[in-house]
Amino acid sequence: MNKPLRRVAIFCGLLVLALLLRDNWVQFVRADELNAHPKNTRVRIERYANPRGNIIVDGKPITSSVDSGGNYYKYKRTYVNGPMWAPVTGYASQVYDANQIEKIEDGILTGNDDRLFFDRTLAMFTGEKKKGGDVVTTLSGAAQKAAFEGLGDKTGAVVAIEPKTGKILALASTPSYDPSTIAGSDDEKAWVALNEAKSKPMQNRALREIYPPGSVFKVVTAAAALENGKVTDINAPTDTPEGWKIPLSNREMVNHARGCANTSLNHALEISCNSVFAKLGDDVGRDKMVEMAEKFGFNAEQFTPVRSSASVFDKHSDRGGNALSSIGQFNTATTPLQMAMVTAAIANDGKLMKPYMIDQLRAPNLDIIKQTEPEEMSRPVSPETAQKLQQMMENVVSNGTGGNADLNMDGVKVGGKTGTAQHGEKNAKRPYAWFISYAKTSEGSPVAVAVVVEDSAGTDREDITGGGLAAPIAKAVMKAVIKARG
Amino acid sequence: MSVVTNTTTIGAIEAPSRRNTELALLAFAVVIPVFAYLNVGLAIDGKVPAGMAGYGLGLALLAGVAHLVVRKWAPYADPLLLPLATLLNGLGLVLIWRLDQSPRLIAKSIRDFGSFSPDAPKQMLYSAVGIAMFVGVLLLLKDHRVLQRYTYISMVAALVLLLLPLVPGLGADVFGAKIWIHIGGFSIQPGEFAKLVLAIFFSGYLMVKRDALALASRRFMGLYLPRGRDLGPIITIWAVSLLILVFENDLGTSLLFFGMFVIMLYVATERTSWIVMGLLMAVAGAVSVASFAGHVQARVDAWSDPFACAEKVAACDQMTQVLMSFGSGGILGAGLGQGSSDLIGFAANSDFIFATVGEELGLTGVMVFLLFYGLIIERGVRTALAARDPFGKLLAMGLSGAFALQIFVVAGGVMGLIPLTGMTMPFLAYGGSSVIANWALIGILIRISDTARRPAPAPAPNPDAEMTQVVRP
């Protein structure tokens, strides 16, 4: 009977072998997949097992954690001035996962990141509880406050960038929400209400909403015209008739301003002539326009590291479409971040710095794990072109539609451009009010701002203009930045 | 004719008793779980657990008693079986105690049943009863061949045990599988005991019938096909297995018994044709049952893609929790007391206790446990090889084969290799029936191995030896 016995023994060995192989499959090959599975609550349990690290602005935390005493999720996230900072922090919820910085830097905040391995190991020996590291942002509390309070009850967004480095100084979106209200484990009501609200409070308008830019896009068209030699002297008359015909169409370009016929580029920007810029866009041609827009960052998502939507400049439009695109209509659409980048590049003498909002990642013992260095993204225009653009934009503020943004401070020059973008079927909806601007001192430009006001309750339709609604907000933000710098 | 053949495995002559080896191994088998206990306490409370001395002494006492009994009444027994079983039982207690301290499971128990009582002390009691059973087997069963007398009683007992869960008012439906009975506040899993009794019946029956089953056959396409009337037993067992599958909804028990029978049939007759037939019948039975019985179908769904049906079916959801528990263990595990295997909720410390091993001890720990089980099986097979009588061979092989199949069915089930069943990991899982029956199983194997390794009595001097001469033609 021993021969079959040995064979059965081999069979039993094979059974055990099959189990060993299967175990390797489940616990080694599939481990990462199973760990990252959305159904796996361990990630969340782990996330809230210890107090999370904090997100820091101006050296002070804008987040904290409280012991909620739950069986599953021990600590609950709370926020200081949640609605104001929500577009920056995102939320970290015990039930609904997390987003933005709370999600992207989750590893550091929970202390699970590989870069914190040494700290964890040390804590294991000293018997300390695991701690999360901190995320230090580039934001400025004063600028953010000015932006958020400036927007007030209006629907809109503000992005402010330090042109020299690309540091994001303000990132506001209204109406906003308080992430504290959805942080706990029984906040379903608040979550549903926020998600179903018509005003979309959880939408990050500064990064994720794309708006038709209207006239503020004209600075890009001006940049393309100067860079491609279509205009050399900004004060020379452009050969543009009043009632310039849109190519491939019988329609004429409508101007809202008077005195656009044959006017100079400088004056055309000052009073925002549609005809001049549509014609210039046509002269430059679609491909060169696309090239310029893309150098400024259009048609690509930006990672700050929080992702922004891609702004659009149509690559396949016909001549007529391109002419309309060049005055920020047709298919052109942009995030507030994108327009802030355009402004910052011009203010920084043609050098576009990659926008970012995380300055440092810090270990629990305050050691710096990662320091973000400013990084050049592209050079859309030459310094000469940039200076001409600055000259024109400063003219807009001192003589033109942007007068409301003038800081009237000694040694501070302000350049800007207004925009009132019509949208909707036959422009039936209330227009968007845009304003982009920068401030400049002898040491360079400390701040570039883009403001969009989507819908302003109680303002007459006729009164919705970039200069009237958006410029004061931009002014407040610039003022706050300059004051904070002393 | 030679008296001693095939002694390559365990020498039958002048074998050392190896009792001191066993004692040394037992020391490890007690110390390792005590360290694990300490580890859990430190991880959860940050201090040395108060019950550690009591637990250590209890385990040491049980192991000591078992060892002394083996030393006295089965001195030539295999030295590995007792330490392996003690180690697994000890670690099982630690894992159960660890899950007892999960605030989530406590809260769940209070929510579902209104109260919570820790399982570890009960399991300690069951382990003591199990060791008593082990001692009882060794004391009462002086020679395993005695069991041969009870062949047909065993058959009846096994059938009764297997069918008990179907009796209305007695059986209980736990999470779809009807393999439990409730008597006076106790829950018993009769299948665990049926495993032992059936092995005795099969051994006795096959020992008598093996010649008929092996020799009377026709050759067809290279296989020796049995005669029609010899097919009776295998068809009966097959039918009973299918009945279990259909009415008790338990693939594990069904597979275990049919598999055990086929293995023993093969060993007894040395005919490969039985294996071929067994496999064909198993596949045919499983496929046909799965195709028309809805609850079996549900189990198969929960196995093939648990994440797909997790929202609707509780069994799928549970399977996903088990898989994620294994996955989160990774290579080295979260460490004892630091995992979240309590998220499995229902039956976390019984059917799914292996997931806690996976999560807290990792791939490494699971492989070690599988190798421990593999070693028990290997010692069982060696015992079968060394046994001198066919009944002992068959019984040892049947028990180790059933043990191997059970490990495969349970561990394979929780790791998603095969559809999940309601059986439990021997020695590890919480449950009195399982731990008691398995200690009895180890007891029987130790008895057979003692008989096998015992030095053969010196042949009586033959008074005729000198006078007898070979007459050459």
Q: Which residues of A touch B358 (CB under 8 A)?
A: 23, 26-27
Interface test with B, best of A2, A3, A5 (most B CBs within 10 A): A5
Please tell me the least confidently modeled range out of A82-86, A153-157, A247-251, B444-448. Answer: A247-251
Average pLDDT over residues A465-482: 86
Please give the angle made by the CA atoms of A74, A363 and A177, to the nearest 5 degrees: 55
Tokens of A457: 């309750």
Is residue B412 within 8 A of residue B217, CB to CB? The reply is no
Given a cut of 90, is residue A251 above it in pLDDT? no
pLDDT beyond 80 at B456: no
Enumerate the H helices of A228-328 as residue ranges.
265-271, 274-284, 286-296, 319-325
pLDDT at A263: 87
CA distance linking residue A218 with residue A434, whole number of Å: 12
Q: Which residues of B touch A27 (CB under 8 A)?
A: 326-327, 329-331, 358, 362-363, 366
- ipTM value of the model? 0.90
Q: Give A53-94 as a DSSP string.
A: P-EEETTEESEEEEE---SS--EEEEETTHHHHHHHH--B-S
Give the single-character DSSP code of A163: T
Q: Which amino acid is at B311?
A: E
Q: Which CATH number fits domain A207-355+376-485: 3.10.580.10, 3.40.50.720, 3.40.710.10, 3.40.50.620?
A: 3.40.710.10
Q: Which residues of A are catalytic?
A: 215
Cβ contact (<8 Å) for A12 and B310? Answer: no
Residue boundaries of the structural domains of chain B: 19-453
Residues B196-237: pLDDT tens digits? 999 999 999 899 888 877 776 677 766 666 777 777 777 887
* CB-facing half-sphere around the CA of A244: CA atoms within 13 A: 26
* pLDDT score of B12: 47
Inform me whether the C-beta atom of residue A14 falls under 8 Å from chain B C-beta atoms: no
Q: How far apart are CA B315 and CA A298, in angstroms?
A: 50
The predicted model gives A226-238 an average pLDDT of: 86
CB–CB contact A30 B327 (8 Å): yes
Q: Which helix (H) or strand (E) holds A408?
A: none
Closest CA to A53 of A137, A139, A138, A131: A131
pTM above 0.90?
no
pLDDT score, position B1: 42
pLDDT above 90 (res A272): no
The predicted pLDDT at position B397 comes to 95
Condensed to tens digits (0 to 9), the pLDDT of residues B403-455 reads 999 999 999 999 999 888 778 899 999 988 999 999 999 999 999 999 998 88
Residue B468 has pLDDT above 70, yes or no: no
Reduced to 3 states, what is the DSSP secondary structure of residue A329? coil
Tell me if chain B has a CB within 8 Å of the CB of A28.
Answer: yes
Least confident piece of the model among A250-254, B26-30, B121-125: A250-254
Query: Within an 8 Å CB–CB cutoff, is residue A410 touching chain B?
Result: no
pLDDT above 60 for B3:
no
The per-residue pLDDT for B470 is 63
Cross-chain CB nearest to A26 (options B268, B323, B343): B323
- Helix axes A336-347 and A383-399, enclosed angle (nearest 10): 110
Mean predicted confidence (pLDDT) in A401-422: 82
pLDDT interval class at B348 (50, 70, 90): confident
* CA gap B180, B316 in Å, rounded: 22
CB contacts, 8 Å: A130 with chain B: none
Mean pLDDT of chain B: 86
A44 touches A94 (CB < 8 A): yes
Model confidence at A104: pLDDT above 60: yes
Confidence at residue B380, expressed as pLDDT on a 0 to 100 scale: 96
Predicted local distance difference test score (pLDDT) of residue B264: 92
DSSP three-state, residue A417: strand
Stretch B252-276: mean pLDDT, rounded?
A: 87
Confidence of residue B466 (pLDDT cuts 50, 70, 90): low
CA dihedral defined by B237, B240, B241, B242, rounded to 10 degrees?
120
Nearest one of A408, A414, A409 to A396, comparing CA atoms: A414
Q: What is the mean pLDDT of residues A138-161?
A: 91
For an interface test with A, give the residue of B203, B272, B370, B405 to mutate (most A CBs within 10 A). B370
3-state secondary structure chain B: CCCCCCCCCCCCCCCCCCHHHHHHHHHHHHHHHHHHHHHHHHHHHCCCCCCHHHHHHHHHHHHHHHHHHHHHHCCCCCCCHHHHHHHHHHHHHHHHHHHHCCHHHHHHHHHHHCCCCCCHHHHHHHHHHHHHHHHHHHHHCCCHHHHHHHHHHHHHHHHHHHHHHHCCCCEEEECCEEEEEEECCEEECHHHHHHHHHHHHHHHHHHHHHHHHHHCEEEECCEEEECHHHHHHHHHHHHHHHHHHHHHCCHHHHHHHHHHHHHHHHHHHCCHHHHHHHHHHHHHHHHHHHHHCHHHHHHHHHHHCHHHHCCCCHHHHHHHHHHHHHHHHCCCCCCCCCCCHHHHCCCCCCCCHHHHHHHHHHHHHHHHHHHHHHHHHHHHHHHHHHCCCHHHHHHHHHHHHHHHHHHHHHHHHHCCCCCCCCCCCCCCCCCHHHHHHHHHHHHHHHHHHHHHHCCCCCCCCCCCCCCCCCCCC
- Which residue type occupies A275? S
For residue B137, pLDDT beyond 80: yes
Min mean pLDDT across A105-109, A176-180, A456-460 is at A456-460
> What residues in A contact B327, CB-CB < 8 Å?
26-27, 30-35, 37, 40
CB atoms within 10 A of CB B52: 15
pLDDT the model gives residue B11: 46
Q: Where are the domains of chain A?
A: 207-355+376-485
Task: Give the separation between CA A430 and CA B103, rounded to whole angstroms.
Answer: 56
Nearest-CA distance from B254 to chain A in Å? 17
**Which structure tokens are listed for A320?**
């007529």
Judge: A12–B324 Cβ closer than 8 Å, yes or no. Answer: no
Mean pLDDT value across residues B372-390: 95
pLDDT of residue B407: 95
Backbone angles phi, psi at A378, to 5 degrees: -170, 175
A152 pLDDT band, cuts 50/70/90, is confident
Q: For residues B31 and A420, which has the higher predicted lDDT (pLDDT)?
A: B31
The predicted pLDDT at position B323 comes to: 93
Read off the pLDDT of each residue in B461-466 and give the average, rounded to a whole number. 62
Top-confidence range, A108-117, A371-380, A416-425, B79-88:
B79-88
Residues in chain B: 473
Residue A154 burial (CB < 10 Å; 0-12/13-18/19+)?
buried
Dihedral in degrees, nearest 10, Cα atoms B457, B459, B461, B462: 150
Residue A478 CB: number of other CB atoms within 10 A? 28
Pick the residue of B272, B307, B366, B394 with the most A CBs within 10 A to test the interface with A by mutation: B366
> What pLDDT is recorded for position A457?
61
